[in-house]
């Protein structure tokens, strides 16, 4: 959570942005579900096309919590990096 000072800076930024004003209680009360305002769009379902490369196989394995936290500590892409490490470990 932001501190009071950070929150004040955020709110000043919101007040200066005329193109993106903060929503009021009246704005929220006037809102309706997207299915009511654009029903055709709400009904549309996107279908994923065929994959261009071989799919990966979903597996479930139990790992020590400290190992998972260490892998995640390097940020997004940790599963790909773990996959690369396993490939190297088994000589692929």
Predicted pLDDT of residue 47? 80
Burial 5-34 (b: 16+ CB within 10 A, else e): eeeeeeeeeeeeeeeeeeeeeeeeeeeeee
Task: Give 48-85 pLDDT, tens digit per residue.
Answer: 788 787 778 888 999 999 999 999 999 999 999 999 99
Computed over every residue of the chain, the mean pLDDT equals 90
Structure tokens at 27: 């704005």
DSSP three-state, residue 3: coil
């Amino acid at each position: 959570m932001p501190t009071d000072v950070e929150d004040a800076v955020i709110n000043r930024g919101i007040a200066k942005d005329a193109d993106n004003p903060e929503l009021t209680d009246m704005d929220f009360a006037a809102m309706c579900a997207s299915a009511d305002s654009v029903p055709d769009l709400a009904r549309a379902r996107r279908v994923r096309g065929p994959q261009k490369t071989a799919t990966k196989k979903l597996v479930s394995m139990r790992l020590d919590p400290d190992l998972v936290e260490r892998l995640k500590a390097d940020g997004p892409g940790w599963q790909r990096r773990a996959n690369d490490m396993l490939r190297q470990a088994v000589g692929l």
